[in-house]
Amino acid sequence: MKIPSFPVTDDHIHIDPVNGRGLEAAKDFLRAGGSHLFLVCKPTSSFGITPAKGTDFTGVFDETLAIAEQVRELGLTVGVVLGVHPAEITRLSGSYPLSRVEEIMKEGISLAATYVADGRAVALKSGRPHYEVPGEILDASNRVLAHAFSCAARNDCAIQVHAESGPCADMVPMAESAGLPSWKVVKHYATPDTPLTPSFIATHPDIPELCREKREFTMESDYMDENSRPGAVIGPKSVPRATFRLLEQGIIEEEDAFRIHAETPAKVYGMEISR
């Protein structure tokens, strides 16, 4: 395959050598033309951990860093994203009172922020459940998210948010009140109506129109790398393949691809992104 003149970046991908294909998935991304990826840590359940305190996330974070090093050895550039998946609040509520679950999650995010502070990670992750939850769960989730925004602001880093489908416009004042510019909040699995920085699934049908509007956004596969769910959400080759297909069909221009894969993620994450 001819190597493109621009980088190809997957903004949200998981690589799991234990429960999934591991480095073979990363090799697929590389062979398809990918060059950069943001490796997002998986939930504690993927590691058989039920955290009782923030430091129990250490194993998850350290394993993610170890995987990142292995992926870098393949020739890919990796930015690590660490934090606490918002669905942990539901899982942990079966073991602890909600007030303690909230504290555990905040402690885990504070721990993740230390990895950003020392340069081992480039961004945090947080959010709130993307499914229906009781009001007290939603309120606690928003307090955890507000804490995550504060941690991101203190470390001048981006944060990826998992949340319900839709604009999540209320996160703009939440972030800004914490001192975090809303463009540093990346809406994972985004819809075009979000005022945050959207990260679109590579097959999103609105990408051509958004390119014509010169919209700033990134692309992702949200590849889960779980043998029990092969190819979910979409496969590791999807971001480069979708990009090249749009280019070959004349639907987007190379400057659009450069904005998606280099300019926007470099701005948001503060990383140099180049071929």
Give the domains, in start order, of the chain with CATH numbers: 9-269 (3.20.20.140)
Token pair for residue 103? 């504290």
Over residues 211-270, the pLDDT tens digits come to 999 999 999 999 999 999 988 899 999 999 999 999 999 999 999 999 999 999 999 999
Which ranges of the chain does DSSP label H, i.e. alpha helix? 23-31, 58-72, 88-92, 98-117, 135-155, 171-177, 207-212, 238-248, 254-258, 264-269
Residue in 136, 132, 147, 121 with CA at minimum distance from that of residue 58: 121
- The answer to whether the CB of 139 falls within 8 A of the CB of 127 is no
**Over 173-225, what HEC string results?**
HHHHHCCCCHHHEEECCCCCCCCCEEEEECCCCCHHHHHHCCCCCEEECCCCC
| Nearest Cα to Cα of residue 146 among 119, 95, 97, 110 | 110
Query: What string of H, E and C letters represents the secondary structure of 78-91?
Result: EEEEEECCCCHHHH
pLDDT on residue 8: 98
In contact, 39 and 79? CB cutoff 8 Å: yes
Q: Is the dihedral of CA 180, 143, 41, 4 positive or negative?
A: negative
Residue 73: CB atoms within 10 A of its CB come to: 10
Low-confidence stretches of the chain (pLDDT < 70) are 1-3
What are residue 125's DSSP bridge partners? 83, 160
Q: In what order do the strands lie in the sheet containing 9-13?
A: 9-13, 36-40, 77-83, 123-127, 158-162, 185-187, 197-201, 218-220
Cα distance between residue 148 and residue 110, in whole Å: 8
User: For residue 216, which amino acid is it?
Assistant: E
Instruction: Point out which residues pair with 199 in neighbouring strands.
Output: 218
CA-to-CA separations, 222 to 10, 13, 26, 54, 264, in angstroms, rounded:
8, 5, 13, 25, 18
3-state secondary structure of 96: coil
Amino acid at the residue 4: P
